Each structure stands twice: as structure tokens, then as C-alpha cells.
């Protein structure tokens, strides 16, 4: 009887504590899912789109390029300029951009119109990614911010590991135009979900608005931006050239399974980060860098051995899965009221790193061969670890 009473008391005490607004956070996660899916779907549907529009595959590939450029050029200035806007209407406008773009993609016969629409989709993505982490953090108490951001960011690994392969399969079955039309319907449903489930917040007052220069001057922001850039650069040196990377291990025909394994490991990584982030943010950043470095070392030493390659892919995915959450949570913790501007900087350096990874990896592949990619990644990660280790900040330490 005493045990039963104690259990009821504990349950009541737990229920009285701060709760995560799951419906609202999952709506933000779905927004991230649609953002990634909209960005990458043309790559998966490239053969069908190329044949139907009568253009080269490389021309279709530019649909992804202009999207990234839109995010890159718009994230910081647009976020800074819209700080005074109410948050929910701004969020809904950013998401509505995806509905418009995906519908235009589904119906237009003009590649030029499609490219222009994709650029503005990238603009919407830059604004949306700058808002998600800060929005999630604003809905909860300080001790739940890390978990809230983790849930809001779960859409990214889900889109990469499950959404893109599923979208490609659906596109093959019903046609690429129908797939983009379905994306529009999904986005409209998300708009209704956010309208009903996500709370609204006022924008910043004139005195409370954060400047770009002022945000950069906040202690710890520059190191976290540098670490973010180097970590994502290292990831994209490998991930952009994953197809030639699997060749020495004899896994050319199993590339889809390699990507699936990476995605599933990434989901496990983000789950682990979500559980530990409230107590060990800085330690998790350092650990993720070193775990990724371990994967690069395995690829460098034994990348031709299938068992070692599979292990390295799993370790790499585990390290990368929670990276976005870690860096965005660190930026939010350090920047305070300037969170949205800081997040836009994370978005910008992330996209720069994606482009840089393609360039650096391509140069290494052309002039040195695939075997040098893991060693270049290892060098980049050791620099990132050094910066993170030296950049101590009390706001990234667990509460006493």
C-alpha cells in the first residue's frame, strides 16, 4: 500500500513538472522535414525530370544548387530584417513558400521558372531554419530547451534517411509531377497544423533587436560558428562523394543500403543527443567530433575492408545525427535574445560548408584519389576539436 502511494505521489510530481509541447514541436519537426525533402527531391527524381523536360541531368542538378544559394544569401539579412515581425505569421509565410514552389514545380514546363522558384524556396528555407531552434527553445523552460530543439530538429535525419528514398520511390511509381503536387498538399496540411498547435510570440522591440555585429561579439559565438563550419565541411567532403567512396570496399551495388545505414545511425545519434543534451552539451560537441574523427580514421586505415567500412558508416552517422541539434542549441544558449540572428549564422556557415565540402572533396578526388578524403576529414576534425576544447563557456556547461 505504501509503495502504491509513493508511486502515485511520484507520478503526480512528475506530471506537475514542466512538460514538452509535443504537438507544437512535432509541427516544427515536420517543417524541417519538408524543407529537406523539397531541397533534395530533385536529385532523387533527376532521371525522370531530365527526360520529361528535355534537359540534361546537370541542368536538373542546378535545382538543388539554386536552392542552396537562396538559403545562403538570405538567411542572415532576412532574419535580421524580420526580427520585429510576430513569430507565427512569419513562420507560416516561410512554410507557405514551399507550397507555392512545389506546386509551380509540379505544373510548369519552363526550367527557368522552376529555377527561379527554387531560389525563393531556398530563401524561405534560410528564414525557416533560422527560426526553428529559437522557436522551440521559446516554448519551454531552460532545462527543457535542449530536448525541445532535439525534437524540433528530428525532421532532418528522418528526411535524409527515410523521406528522400521514399519520395524517390513514390516519384518512380506516380511520376515526379504528382510527387511535387503531393508535397504541396502535405505543406498545406502542415500550415493548418501549425496554425492550430503552435503558439504565437511577439517580435523583438526596437531596443531588443540584435545586430549582426553585436551577435558576433557575444562570447562563444565565433568558436561555435567555426566548429560548425569545420564539422559540416568534413561531413560533406565524404558525403558528397559517397558513391566513389564505397568503390574500394566493393559496395558499389549496395550504395542505397549504405545511405540507409547512415540515416538509421543518424536517427540513433539524434535520439542519444536528445537524452543527454540538457546535462552535457559541451561534452557532447567534443565527443561527436572525436567519434566522427574515429570513423574517418577507420575509413583511412581500413576503408577497403567491408566490415570496417560498415562500422565506420555507422559510427559516422551516429556522430553526425545530433550535430545540427548540438550546434543550434549551443548557439541558442550563448546568444539569448539574439537567438534567431545567431541561428541564421549557423544556417549560413552550414551552407558554406556544404559548398566547400563539394569543392574540397572534388579537388582531392581529382588530384589525389579517393584514399585521401578520410585523411583530409581527420585533419579538419582535429582542428575543430582544438577550437571547441579551447572555447570554454559557462553557458555550455551543465547546471550544477
Contact 198, 28 (CB under 8 A): yes
CATH domain 212-393 topology: Growth Hormone; Chain: A; (1.20.1250)
> Which tens digits make up the pLDDT trace of 155-198?
876 776 677 767 777 887 888 999 999 999 999 999 999 999 99
149 pLDDT more than 60: yes
Residue in this structure with the C-alpha cell 530538429, named with its chain if needed: 153
Distance CA 150, CA 136 (A): 9
The mean pLDDT of the chain is: 84
- Contact (Cβ atoms closer than 8 angstroms) between residue 84 and residue 203: yes
Please identify which residue in the block is written with the cell numbers 513558400: 97
pLDDT at 15: 46
Residue 345: is its pLDDT beyond 70?
yes
On the 0-12 / 13-18 / 19+ scale of CB atoms within 10 A, 280 is middle
- For residue 224, give the C-alpha cell: 561555435
Confidence (pTM): 0.77
260: phi then psi, degrees, rounded to nearest 5 = -65, -45
| pLDDT at residue 9 in the model | 45
Q: What is the pLDDT of residues 198-255, one digit of tens each?
A: 999 887 665 456 667 778 778 788 999 999 999 999 998 888 788 788 889 998 888 7
- 209 in helix, strand or coil? coil
Q: Which three cell numbers stand for residue 252?
A: 558499389
- In tens, the pLDDT along 252-305 reads 888 778 878 888 898 888 888 878 877 788 899 999 999 999 999 999 999 899
Q: Which residues contact 153 (CB under 8 A, 6 or more apart)?
A: 29, 32, 132, 133, 270, 324, 325, 328
**The CATH number fitting domain 21-197, selected from 1.10.3720.10, 3.30.70.20, 1.20.1250.20, 1.25.40.10:** 1.20.1250.20
Cell matching residue 318: 551516429
Residue scoring higher pLDDT (313 or 263)? 313
For residues 145 and 242, give the distance between their C-alpha atoms in angstroms, rounded to a whole number.
34
DSSP H or E segment with residue 21:
none
Residue with cell 536517427: 267
Pinpoint the residues of the chain covered by CATH 1.20.1250.20: 21-197, 212-393
Length of the chain: 400
Other Cβ atoms within 10 Å of 399 Cβ, number: 7
Amino acid at each position: 500500500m505504501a509503495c502504491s502511494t509513493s508511486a502515485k505521489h511520484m507520478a503526480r510530481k512528475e506530471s506537475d513538472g514542466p512538460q514538452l509541447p509535443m504537438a507544437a514541436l512535432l509541427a516544427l519537426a515536420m517543417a524541417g522535414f519538408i524543407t529537406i525533402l523539397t531541397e533534395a527531391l530533385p536529385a532523387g527524381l533527376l532521371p525522370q525530370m531530365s527526360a520529361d523536360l528535355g534537359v540534361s541531368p546537370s541542368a536538373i542538378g542546378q535545382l538543388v544548387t539554386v536552392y542552396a544559394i537562396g538559403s545562403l544569401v538570405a538567411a542572415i539579412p532576412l532574419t535580421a530584417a524580420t526580427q520585429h515581425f510576430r513569430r507565427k505569421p512569419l513562420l507560416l509565410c516561410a512554410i507557405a513558400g514551399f507550397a507555392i514552389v512545389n506546386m509551380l514545380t509540379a505544373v510548369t514546363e519552363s526550367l527557368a521558372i522552376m529555377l527561379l522558384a527554387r531560389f525563393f524556396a531556398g530563401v524561405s528555407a534560410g528564414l525557416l531554419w533560422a527560426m526553428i531552434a529559437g522557436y522551440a527553445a521559446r516554448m519551454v523552460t531552460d532545462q527543457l530547451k535542449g530536448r525541445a530543439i532535439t525534437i524540433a530538429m528530428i525532421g532532418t535525419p528522418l528526411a535524409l534517411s527515410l523521406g528522400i528514398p521514399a519520395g524517390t520511390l513514390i516519384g518512380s511509381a506516380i511520376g515526379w509531377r504528382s510527387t511535387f503536387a503531393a508535397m504541396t498538399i502535405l505543406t498545406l496540411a502542415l500550415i493548418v497544423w501549425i496554425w492550430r498547435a503552435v503558439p504565437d510570440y511577439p517580435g523583438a522591440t526596437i531596443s531588443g533587436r540584435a545586430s549582426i555585429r553585436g551577435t558576433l561579439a557575444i562570447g562563444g559565438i565565433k568558436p561555435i560558428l567555426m566548429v560548425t563550419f569545420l564539422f559540416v565541411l568534413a561531413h560533406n567532403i565524404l558525403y558528397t562523394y559517397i558513391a566513389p567512396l564505397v568503390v574500394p570496399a566493393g559496395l558499389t551495388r549496395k550504395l542505397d543500403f549504405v545511405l540507409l545505414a547512415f540515416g538509421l545511425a543518424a536517427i540513433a545519434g539524434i535520439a542519444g543527443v536528445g537524452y543527454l543534451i540538457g546535462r552535457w552539451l559541451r561534452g557532447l560537441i567534443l565527443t561527436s567530433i572525436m567519434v566522427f574523427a574515429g570513423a574517418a580514421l577507420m575509413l583511412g586505415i581500413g576503408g577497403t575492408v567491408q566490415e570496417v567500412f560498415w562500422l565506420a558508416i555507422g559510427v559516422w552517422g551516429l556522430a553526425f545525427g545530433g550535430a545540427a541539434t548540438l550546434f543550434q542549441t549551443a548557439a541558442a544558449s550563448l546568444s539569448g535574445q539574439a537567438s534567431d540572428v545567431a541561428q541564421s549564422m549557423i544556417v549560413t556557415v552550414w551552407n558554406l560548408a556544404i559548398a566547400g565540402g563539394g569543392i574540397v572533396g572534388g579537388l582531392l578526388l581529382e588530384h589525389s584519389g579517393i584514399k585521401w578524403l578520410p585523411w583530409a576529414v581527420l585533419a579538419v576534425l582535429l582542428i575543430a576539436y582544438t577550437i571547441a576544447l579551447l572555447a570554454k563557456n559557462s553557458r555550455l556547461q551543465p547546471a550544477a
